[in-house]
Amino acid sequence: MAELTTAFGDRLSTAEAMRRQHSSQLTWLESQLPDAVVFPESTDEVAMIARVCNAHLVPMIPFGAGSSFEGHVNAPYGGVSIDLSRMNAILEVNSEDMDCRVQPGVTRLTLNEHLRDTGLFFPIDPGADASLGGMAATRASGTNAVRYGTMRDNVVAVTAVLPNGKIVHTARRARKSSAGYDLTRLLVGSEGTLGIITELVLRLSPIPEAVVGGSCAFPTVRAACDAVIATIQTAIPIARIELLDELSVQAVNRYSGLGLAETPLLLVEFHGTPAGVAEQAQRFGEIVEAYGGGPFAWSEKLEERTELWKARHDAYWACLALRPGARPIPTDVCVPISRLADCVEETKREIAELNLIAPIVGHVGDGNFHVQPLVDMNDPDEIETVKAFIARMVERAISMDGTCSGEHGVGQEKQKYLRHEHGNATLELMRVIKRAVDPQTIMNPGKMLEKDT
């Protein structure tokens, strides 16, 4: 610590408020504070921190914007939180190549603001104004993934500092490569357990010439899911297709002053040429009708679309307001889309039986949905009930050939499900890689692979 204090001066803090702010708040666990928070300003400074921590076996916890859900930034073994928010430069935008090079502390909204005049944008939108380094580390995705993919698909290369302080550049700026192991994809989604991402090359997309969007109500979740499957099979290149259950619609109506029908609802958006989006919207409307939904009301007006998507993005806060004082425990699973209606319906049935307040929203084009139970943390019985409810939901998703997390990651909370999901041999292969890259277990210890009780 003395070494780091000497090097970083007032860019290292041990104040409790600062350490608390650099821990996770949205899990069952009490926040686990790091011993110190350090604010590096370059890859070389991060490498220096890693060399010091490696020499003294001090845990390192990379920190972006702190908007992750599954306990990624907690420090169960103490150590140093490496806050990358000062590494927030947009280093280059290559508009002909449709890519850019950024530092990890740049947030997605800042990047898109910067890109505005280039005709390009970065499509990954997890809701929160997360840092791009954190989004890569957790393999974030969000509402645009059905069309544009996830961070897996939109990170071209990263620079990362390994636990021993060595600096690696995973790939060059070519759009594709067959020159060796895909280290980019190994680090994307590694949740800071293999190294610290200090620079990213991101793929950009052209801002669509025309965008239309709208919403339509369905009698049941199943009807909505069937309409989504038909839409995708018909090759309609839908850009966003989001499901809100009745309770979520109620919540956003109240919170955002909207008058949406309080039934299962799809929010959709189409990107293309003016003629193209009109054709897509018309075809989608026909499909909706065939599945008993609708009418599909859509609009080209920016204000109307913005209002709708702002309401979707505010769903987290809107749902929170359903039960003031309760702690939200946001969690997600993902299943093959053919099983989505089954998985959501069974989950909703349990929510009703258990009398939980747990709204559901879903990135339904990917088979991914979120449940956000609102829990009275002073009621031990309720805590146990909700824990068991989440465990059953996860096991249900895995038994449907799905995954314990579509986009939030493993962190601390989902570790116990990996053995069921992956099996012994696969989990052991992940651990072989972890041990090889981080033999002293100092990179974000206690996360992802450590506990599988």
Which residues 138-167 are close enough to bind its own copies by CB under 8 A?
138-141, 145, 149-150, 152-153, 162, 166-167
Q: Nearer Cβ to its own copies, position 12 or 140? A: 140
Contact flag: residue 429 with its own copies (CB under 8 A): yes
Q: Please, what is the minimum distance in Å from the beta carbon of residue 66 to its own copies?
A: 17
Other C-beta atoms closer than 10 Å to the C-beta of 377 total: 12
Residue from 177, 301, 321, 378 binding its own copies (CB under 8 A): 177
CA-to-CA separations, 374 to 249, 357, 370, 392, in angstroms, rounded: 16, 6, 13, 17
Q: Please, what is the minimum distance in Å from the beta carbon of residue 93 to its own copies?
A: 12
Contact flag: residue 212 with its own copies (CB under 8 A): no
Q: Which of residues 245-284 bind its own copies (CB under 8 A)?
A: 272-273, 275-276, 279
Q: Nearer Cβ to its own copies, position 158 or 351? A: 158
Q: Which of residues 398-417 bind its own copies (CB under 8 A)?
A: 398, 401-410, 414, 417
Q: Please, what is the minimum distance in Å from the beta carbon of residue 198 to its own copies?
A: 13
Contact flag: residue 92 with its own copies (CB under 8 A): no
In the numeric block, the tokens 């997600």 are attached to 332
Rounded Cα gap, residues 362 and 264, in angstroms: 11
Q: Nearer Cβ to its own copies, position 30 or 401? A: 401
Contact flag: residue 336 with its own copies (CB under 8 A): yes
Contact flag: residue 205 with its own copies (CB under 8 A): yes
Q: Please, what is the minimum distance in Å from the beta carbon of residue 134 to its own copies?
A: 12
Q: Nearer Cβ to its own copies, position 21 or 154? A: 154
Q: Nearer Cβ to its own copies, position 6 or 178? A: 178
Residue from 6, 16, 117, 176 binding its own copies (CB under 8 A): 176
Contact flag: residue 330 with its own copies (CB under 8 A): no
Q: Nearer Cβ to its own copies, position 19 or 108? A: 108
Q: Please, what is the minimum distance in Å from the beta carbon of residue 294 to its own copies?
A: 21
Site map (CB under 8 A) of its own copies, residues 114-133, x = contact: -----xx-------------
Rounded Cα gap, residues 184 and 293, in angstroms: 42
Residue from 127, 422, 441, 450 binding its own copies (CB under 8 A): 422
> CA nearest 71: which of 23, 34, 7, 120?
23
Interface size with its own copies, residues (CB under 8 A):
98
Q: Nearer Cβ to its own copies, position 1 or 230? A: 230
Rounded Cα gap, residues 9 and 13, in angstroms: 9
Q: Please, what is the minimum distance in Å from the beta carbon of residue 250 to its own copies?
A: 28
Residue from 84, 229, 319, 393 binding its own copies (CB under 8 A): 229
Contact flag: residue 211 with its own copies (CB under 8 A): no
Contact flag: residue 42 with its own copies (CB under 8 A): no
Q: Which of residues 368-397 bind its own copies (CB under 8 A)?
A: 368, 397
Q: Nearer Cβ to its own copies, position 128 or 194? A: 194
Contact flag: residue 178 with its own copies (CB under 8 A): yes
Contact flag: residue 237 with its own copies (CB under 8 A): yes
Instruction: Please state the three-class secondary structure of the chain as a single string.
Output: CHHHHHHHHHHEECCHHHHHHCCCCCCCCCCCCCCEEECCCCHHHHHHHHHHHHHHCCCEEEECCCCCCCCCCCCCCCCEEEECCCCCCEEEEECCCCEEEECCCCEHHHHHHHHHHHCEECCCCCCCCCEHHHHHHCCCCCCCHHHHCCHHHHEEEEEEECCCCCEEECCCCCCCCCCCCCHHHHHCCCCCCCCEEEEEEEECEECCCEEEEEEEECCCHHHHHHHHHHHHHCCCCEEEEEEECHHHHHHHHHHHCCCCCCCCEEEEEEEECHHHHHHHHHHHHHHHHHCCCCCCEEECCHHHHHHHHHHHHCHHHHHHCCCCCCEECCEEEECCHHHHHHHHHHHHHHHHHHCCCCCEEEEHHHCEEEECCEECCCCHHHHHHHHHHHHHHHHHHHHCCCECCCCCCCCCCCHHHHHHHHCHHHHHHHHHHHHHHCCCCCECCCCCCCCCC
Is the CB of residue 404 less than 8 Å from the CB of residue 397? yes
Q: Nearer Cβ to its own copies, position 33 or 136? A: 136
Q: Please, what is the minimum distance in Å from the beta carbon of residue 433 to its own copies?
A: 6
Residue from 289, 356, 433, 450 binding its own copies (CB under 8 A): 433
